[in-house]
Amino acid sequence: MERAAATPSRPEAVVGVDLGVKTLAVYSDGRPPTANPRYLAAASRKLRRLSRAVSRKQGPDRRSGQQPSGRWRKADAARNRVHHRVAALRRDAIHKLTTTLAGECGTLVVEDLHVAGMVRNRRLARAISDAGFGEIRRQLAYKTEWKGGRLVVAGRWFASSKTCSGCGAVKAKLALSERTYTCTACGLIVDRDLNAALNLASLVKQTVAGSGPETPNGRGADRKTPPAGAGGWETSTPHRAPPGSDGDLRPAMDGSLRNTETQ
C-alpha cells in the first residue's frame, strides 16, 4: 500500500520506553506510565471454571476414536470464546499503545528483550506472554517506519536497569524486588523503571551525538548531528594528529576545531 510520507508530531523527541510486567511501559519523557492490563490473569478464574466444565464432559479420544459429545463441544466453545476475548482485548490495548507512541515520538528506544528466552522461564512465561512484549516491539518497528520516526533497540547486554541515569555508575547487582534505584555514587533516588527508561533515552542521545554504531532501524541517521560531548566519537576516531604538530586540534563533526587536550 502506498502511504503519504508522514512525520511524528514531535520529530525531535527521543523517548526511552521500559517495558515491564508490573507496569507495562514507563517513559523517559515524563508522560504517565501505562498500566499492565493483564487480561489473561484477570480471566484466569473464569477460564479455570470453564475448563473444569469441559473436562467433566465426554471429549474426543484419538486412541479409541470416540467422538466428543454435544455438551463437550458446547463447553469447549464457551471456553474458547473467553480465550479469544482475552486475545482481542490485548491486541486492542497494544495497538493503541504503539500507535500513540509511533505517532508522537521521532525516536523510540526500547530494550532488546530476549522474549523467547524469558518465556522459557516457567515462573515468568505467562506474565510475559500476557503482557505481549514481543508484539509491542514488532508493532513499534513497523509503525515508526510508517509514521516517519525510528525505533532504536538497545543491545541485549545494555545494563539499562543497573546504570545510574544521573551519573552513569553501574551497579554490580540489582534485585528484581528493588523497585527504587538508589545510587551509591551520586545519591540519586529514582523509580527503577523510570531510571531504565532514562538510560535508554540517553543511549540514543549519545549515539547520535557520537555517530557511534548504527542501529538496524537507524532511519534519519544521516541527519546533521550536533558536536559530540565527551567520549563518543573520540574513541572511534582512528587517527590522531602527530603529537605536537598542531596541539591535537582535529576537525569536529560540525567542521569547527576542537582542542581535545584542554577539554
Binding of residue 166 to Zn ion (CB under 5 A):
yes
* Region binding Zn ion by CB under 5 A among candidate stretches 63-71, 85-93, 156-164, 201-209: 156-164
What single-letter amino acid sits at 107?
T
Distance (Å, whole) CA 172 – CA 163: 9
188 or 252, CB closer to Zn ion?
A: 188
Distance (Å, whole) CA 261 – CA 49: 72
The one among 75, 164, 201, 204 contacting Zn ion by CB under 5 A = 164
Where are the extended beta strands (E) located within the chain? 10-19, 23-27, 34-35, 105-111, 150-154, 180-182, 189-191, 249-251, 257-259
**Cβ 202 to Zn ion shortest distance, Å:** 13
Binding of residue 183 to Zn ion (CB under 5 A):
yes
What single-letter amino acid sits at 3?
R
Binding of residue 201 to Zn ion (CB under 5 A):
no
* Region binding Zn ion by CB under 5 A among candidate stretches 23-31, 33-41, 179-187, 230-238: 179-187
Instruction: State the residue for C-alpha cell 529514582.
Output: 190
Q: What is the x/- site pattern for Zn ion, positions 204-233, by CB under 5 A?
A: ------------------------------
Distance (Å, whole) CA 200 – CA 127: 23
The one among 167, 189, 241, 257 contacting Zn ion by CB under 5 A = 167
Largest CA distance in the chain: 91
* Region binding Zn ion by CB under 5 A among candidate stretches 99-107, 109-117, 176-184, 194-202: 176-184
Binding of residue 185 to Zn ion (CB under 5 A):
yes
Active site residue 111: yes
Answer yes or no: are the C-beta atoms of 118 and 124 closer than 8 Å.
yes
**Cβ 174 to Zn ion shortest distance, Å:** 13
**Cβ 184 to Zn ion shortest distance, Å:** 8
> Residue 81 corresponds to which cell in the numbers above?
470464546
Distance (Å, whole) CA 27 – CA 195: 9
199 or 217, CB closer to Zn ion?
A: 199
Active site residue 112: no
The one among 6, 77, 186, 241 contacting Zn ion by CB under 5 A = 186
Distance (Å, whole) CA 69 – CA 60: 8
Active site residue 193: yes
Residue 63 burial (C-beta neighbours within 10 Å; 0-12, 13-18, 19+): exposed
Binding of residue 88 to Zn ion (CB under 5 A):
no
Distance (Å, whole) CA 107 – CA 31: 15
The one among 47, 53, 82, 188 contacting Zn ion by CB under 5 A = 188
The catalytically annotated residue of 76, 104, 130, 193 is 193
Distance (Å, whole) CA 146 – CA 8: 10
184 or 256, CB closer to Zn ion?
A: 184
Residues noted as catalytic: 18, 111, 193
**Under the rule (CB under 5 A), what is the footprint of Zn ion?**
164, 166-167, 169, 183, 185-186, 188
